[in-house]
Chains A and B, each alone.
Chain A
Amino acid sequence: MSEEYEYRHEVEDLQQKSATAARLFDVRRIIGGLFAIYGIIVLIAGFTASDADVKKASGININLWTGACMLAVGLLFLLWMKLRPLSAPGAEPKPEPSGPGDGPGAGEPGGREPGSGAG
């Protein structure tokens, strides 16, 4: 019996030592940041759109609309991150302190799990 389940203990062990939960940064920062920047760039293109641009897009100033929506989505992600920061799952503290710089937001105590409901 023991041999059959050896791999499960190994996975459990590795899961204990795993650093992902504690040190992986929050993806919402990347999505939020990139969409906010893209939103601003495209929004500027919308403000400076020529008549030819608008005509090409069937009479819609599509840069303006897309830019505004992307900026809004980006800011919503950043807001979501502020309201529900990541928390490291499991009660036991990880052996290593969190790495310098690249783990912002990770490992902060308290707060609920980031919304894991339906998207």
Chain B
Amino acid sequence: MHYLAEGLRLPTNALDYTILVLYFAVVLGVGFAARASVKTSLDFFLSGRSLPAWVTGLAFVAANLGALEILGMAANGAQYGVYTVHWYWVGAIPAMVFLGLVMMPFYYGSKVRSVPEFLLHRYGPSSHLLSSIIFSIASVLIAGVNLYAMAIVVEALLGWPQWVAIVVAGLFVLAYITLGGLSSAIYNEVLQFFVILAALIPLTVVGLRRIGGFGGLKDALTDSHGPHFVSAWGGTGIGSSNPLGANWLTIVLGLGFCLSFGYWTTNFAEVQRALSAKNLSAAQRTPLIAAFPKMFIPLIVVVPGLIALVMRPDIGSKTSGLQYNDAIPLLMSELLPNGVLGLAVTGLLAAFMAGMAANVSSFNTVFTNDIWRAYVRKGRPDGYYLLTGRVVTAIGVLAGMGTAFIASSFSNIMNYLQTLFSFFNVPLFCVFIIGMFWKRATAAAGFWGLLCGTVAAMINYFWLYLGDVIAIPSDQGANFVSAIVAFVVGGVVMVVLTPFTKPKPVESLAGLVYGTTAPGVAEPPAPGDEAWYRRPAVLGWGALILAALCYIPFSL
């Protein structure tokens, strides 16, 4: 993203600032109030595995609905048109349903506290340590990039100096997570989810009214960009060219399968929300409940991007001084009067803070449990790890703030690093899925599959694509192809290595592999869980069918 145009300063007044200050006060209040509930390290890292499904489900969707996601997907809408819906209906819903129906029983049922910890028990220390370290570094880095992006937006919209925005937002996140742990992160995410809806729905309604509704939007875009721009699959035949630089095969396999399953099923910042649910049924329902709002988010994110393109056809060109990322701030300044404007600013800031908080709250868990406790200081009393978690939170936020300051001078490097880390989730998913369904898969195969898959994706992206050895028309298209490469290489390495290496004893895999059950009593289902609308299968298949139906208006 990066530099927002000078002319986007919002005409905010005291009313808008009242709304903003009120929000910051409530965020901090949630932290103080949640503090009383933190007695053990499990309370701090996983809310004591006790939250209801609707809370964890909304937090699951909100953890992903950071401001970078909102601004970025609106930008994709303005740049690529209706193709952007693939990131939701192919690129999120199937993976969320798979996580809920297939993978969650292994994650939640095995009582692991993090995604890397599952690797430890299923494979062994080498893959565990590798993924814990990479996850920790990536989390801090992404938190920093998020902070930096926020500082730029706040500077453009409100005129605050960048360092003020970085320090204020960083310290608020530090305070409320150190006090209340995951519970206050999750509660603030749920709150942020509703505030962002309250910000984006009026924006979309006013914008649609301005350009003559959905009909006016479609006509204007068809006139200016052709019919493919308002269709989901038009122009995605293999060999035909489109702005996305991808065909239906790379969209379905690369985005829909490899990238999306990698992100949604192994990214601990997401999975952590489900692991904090109060029982297995609630954990399974977490991503399934999240799938329903996720499906309709394009309506209030991608549609504003398209509206911005109709209102300012020169957006994204050099002459206008406006970038695609400015789509939503542009609509805010052109359409919203004071009052609702304050809500929109609050929603955007809330989304930035929640996105960062999701990274920090997953980082402190992985660093404390999977690195410090597993390899550095074993066997201390629980209170020691609770304190460590709080200290690590503070260190993580401060490191993120430091990263944000560094990012302000090296933003290109940061972009590369983010791409680099994004390649790590895909082989991770490959290793998980093989490990969950194939008892024989060995520890060595897991480690080398992870490493080789990641390296293969990087070679494909940085050498073959950026070095122009193979021709892929766009960054997004190259991302999709790299993801497929990572998955295939990871899988092949595992299958080839497994017969030559020593498998784990079968009895140590109980509850971690398909067809085995963990010893001990299964948790009894909570009263009310048998209601038909709470059955994971009904919710999951319902979400898939609804997502498929969403495509119909854009495919005819």
Contacts and interface: CB of A to CB of B under 8 A. Distances in A.
Contact of B187 (A11, A27, A52, A56): A27
B37 A56 contact: no
Nearest to B180: A24
A18 B527 CA distance: 21
Interface string A3-34: 01101100110110111111111010011001
Interface stretch (B47-55, B256-264, B443-451, B482-490): B47-55
B508 A65 contact: no
B205 A30 contact: no
A57 B204 CA distance: 11
Interface residues of A, number: 58
Nearest to A45: B339
Interface in B483-508: 507-508
B111 A34 contact: no
A27 B58 CA distance: 12
Nearest to B346: A38
Contacts of A1: 507-508, 519
B190 A27 contact: yes
A24 B186 CA distance: 12
Contacts of A103: 36-37
Nearest to B184: A24
B531 interface: yes
Given A18-B50, A70-B198, A56 B41 contact: no
Interface string B509-525: 00000000011100000
Interface stretch (B26-34, B404-412, B431-439): B26-34
Interface in A78-119: 89, 99, 102-103, 112-119
Interface of A: 1, 4-5, 7-8, 11-12, 14-15, 17-25, 27, 30-31, 34-35, 37-38, 41-42, 45-46, 49, 52-54, 56-60, 62-63, 65-67, 69-70, 73, 89, 99, 102-103, 112-119
Closest 6 CB pairs of A and B: A18-B48, A20-B48, A45-B339, A53-B337, A14-B42, A19-B39
Interface of B: 15, 18-19, 22-23, 26, 29-30, 32-43, 47-55, 57-58, 110-113, 117, 121, 183, 187, 190-191, 194-195, 198, 201-202, 205-207, 209-210, 278-279, 282, 285, 288-289, 292-293, 334-340, 343, 382, 507-508, 518-520, 526-529, 531, 533-534, 539
